[in-house]
Amino acid sequence: MFHRLLYPSTLKGKILHSSLILYLCTSLIGCASPQKPIVKPPTAVARAMETRSFSKDMKTVLKASINALQDMDYTIDVLNSDIGLITASRTTEKGQAPLSVDNPANNNQVSGLGALIPIVFIAGAAIILLNLIFDDDDDSGDKRRDRDGHTINLGSGGSNGDSGPVGPRIFRYKVTINLNDINDANTKIRVSASGEIEQDGKILSTGGIHEPEFFRQFFANVNKALFLEDQGQ
C-alpha cells in the first residue's frame, strides 16, 4: 500500500502525488521565511530603553550588575571599577535576542520572499506537467528501476557536493555597561549590546540588540541582585 502511495503508476496518481509534494514544499517555504528584523530605534528611544537609575552607590550597583550578567550566563571580560565599566560576552547555540539593522531597505529581500511563493508554485507546476508529458520511461540513461519501483542510479557514485551549511548556528553576544554615580546614593546604568551569528566559520549577520525584553530581563536581574544584597545573601 505504501509503495503505491509513494510510487503511483497511473497518470492521475502521479499528478496527485506531485501536486501534494509541491504544496508541501511551498508551505514549508512560507513557514521558514525569516521574520522581519528589528530596526534600530532613534537614539533617544534607545537610550531610554538602555538606561536605568538605582538608589544605591556605584560600588553596590556595580556588584549587582556583575551578578546579573552571570545569572544570564555571560562571562565578564573587562571590569574597571574606577570608571564604572563592564564588558561581558556569551557564546551559545540558542539565540537570545534578535539583531537590529541600521537600514531596513537592505532587508527588502526578506519581505519579498513571500512574494516568490506563487512564482515557485507556478514554476513547479510547469515542471511537473512537462515531466509527466515527456517522462515516458525513467529507465533511460544512468537510471534503472528495480522490481519494487525504486530508482537505481548507475551513474557516477560520487557525492553531490556541498549541499549547504551543515554546522549549527553560533550566536555570540557582547554587553557593555557604563555606570555613573549621580551622587553618593544614586547610580545610573546604561547597557548596550550587540551580537553576531556564525555558521560553518562564516558570519551570517551582525547588529545591535534593541529588543525591550532583553533590557527588561537584565534590569530585573539587577534589582534581584540588589534585593539579595540587602538580605545579606
Q: What CATH number does the domain containing 174 carry?
A: 3.30.310.80
Ranked by mean pLDDT, which of 27-36, 124-133, 141-150, 197-206 comes out on top?
Answer: 197-206
Residue 177 lies in a domain: yes
Confidence of residue 22 (pLDDT cuts 50, 70, 90): low
Q: Do 212 and 190 fall into the same domain?
A: yes
Residue 25 confidence class, pLDDT cut points 50, 70, 90? low
Q: What's the average model confidence in pLDDT over 194-209?
A: 94
Q: Give the Cα separation of 54 and 49 in Å (integer).
A: 15
Residues 8-20 have pLDDT tens digits of 666 666 666 566 6
Coil, strand, or helix at residue 146? Answer: coil
189 has pLDDT over 70: yes
Domain co-membership, 184 together with 76: yes
| Res. 191: pLDDT tops 80 | yes
Task: Let me know whether 171 and 222 are in one domain.
Answer: yes
Residue 70 lies in a domain: yes
**Is the Cβ–Cβ distance between 55 and 186 less than 8 Å?**
yes
Residues 190 and 223 in one domain: yes
Alpha carbons 12 and 32: distance in angstroms, whole number: 30
Residues 78 and 171 in one domain: yes
What is d(CA 7, CA 9) in angstroms, rounded to the nearest whole number? 6
Same domain, 86 and 108: no
Are 114 and 224 contained in the same domain? no
In a domain, 142, yes or no: no
**Span 206-223, pLDDT tens digits:** 999 999 999 999 999 999
**pLDDT band at residue 78 using 50, 70 and 90 as cut-offs:** very high
**Nearest residue to 102 via CA among 184, 38, 24:** 38
More confident residue, 6 or 79: 79
The C-alpha cell that represents 21 in the structure block: 509534494
Top-confidence residue, 172 or 102: 172
What is the pLDDT at residue 38?
74
Report the first-to-last Cα separation within the chain, whole angstroms: 67
204 DSSP assignment: E
pLDDT at residue 96, rounded to an integer: 86
Q: By mean pLDDT, which of 35-39, 166-170, 190-194, 212-216 is the weakest?
A: 35-39
How much is the pLDDT for 24? 57
Same domain, 196 and 210: yes
Best CA proximity match to 22, nearest among 116, 114, 113, 122: 122
Confirm whether 157 is domain-assigned: no
Q: Give the whole-angstrom CA distance, residue 173 versus residue 95.
A: 9
Same domain, 112 and 224: no
- Number of folded domains in the chain? 2
What is d(CA 207, CA 192) in angstroms, rounded to the nearest whole number? 11
Is 159 inside a domain boundary?
no
Higher pLDDT, 15 or 29: 15
Residue 203 in domain: yes
Closest CA to 4 of 64, 12, 166: 12
Name the domain boundary from 137, 159, 189.
Answer: 137
Query: Looking up cell 525504486, which residue turns up?
Result: 150
Which residue range forms the structural domain that includes residue 132? 2-35+104-137
Is the pLDDT assigned to residue 149 strictly greater than 80? no
pTM: predicted TM-score of the whole model, two decimal places: 0.60
Burial (CB count within 10 angstroms: exposed 0-12, middle 13-18, buried 19+), residue 33: middle
Identify whether residues 210 and 113 lie together within a single domain.
Answer: no
Question: How many percent of the chain have pLDDT more than 90?
Answer: 48
Do 97 and 108 share a domain, yes or no? no
User: Per-residue pLDDT for 204 more than 60?
Assistant: yes
What residues have CB less than 8 Å from 181, skipping those under 6 apart? 57, 58, 84, 187, 188
Average pLDDT taken over every residue of the chain: 76
Q: How many residues does the chain have?
A: 233
Assess whether 43 and 94 both reside in one domain. Answer: yes
Containing H/E element for 191? strand 186-199
**Is pLDDT larger for residue 43 or for residue 14?**
43
Q: Could you give the CA distance from residue 99 to residue 206 in angstroms, rounded to a whole number?
A: 7
What are 50-77's pLDDT values in tens digits?
Answer: 999 999 999 999 999 999 999 999 999 9
Contact criterion met (CB below 8 Å) for 93 and 171: yes
Distance CA 135, CA 143 (A): 13
Planar angle of CA 55, 58, 59, nearest 5 degrees: 120
Alpha carbons 99 and 160: distance in angstroms, whole number: 34
